[in-house]
Amino acid sequence: MEKQTQHQTSKPHKVAIQGYEGSFHQVAARQFFGEDVEVIACDTFRDVVKIAANKKESDGGVMAIENSIAGSILPNYSLLKKSNLQVVGEVYLQIKQNLLVNPGVKLEDIKEVHSHPMAILQCLDFLEKHNWKLVETEDTALSAQHIHKNRSKTQAAIASKLAAELFDLDILAPNIHTMKNNYTRFLVLQRPDSAAPIENPNKASINFHTDHSQGSLARVLTIIAHAGINLSKLQSFPIPGSDFKYNFYADLEFESIQQYHFMEEQVKNQTESYTCFGIYRNGNQLKLKSA
Active site residues: 184, 186
Beta strands in the chain (DSSP E): 14-18, 38-42, 61-67, 71-72, 86-94, 98-101, 112-115, 133-136, 155-159, 170-173, 183-190, 203-209, 230-238, 246-253, 273-280
What CA–CA distance (Å, rounded) separates 241 from 65?
A: 25
Number of Cβ within a 10 Å radius of residue 180: 9
What does residue 208 show for φ and ψ, rounded to 5 degrees?
A: -150, 160
Contacts of 259 (CB under 8 A, 6+ apart): 227, 228, 229
Q: What is the DSSP string of 197-231?
A: PPSS--EEEEEEE----TTHHHHHHHHHHHTT-EE
Which helix or strand (DSSP H or E) is residue 78 part of? helix 74-82
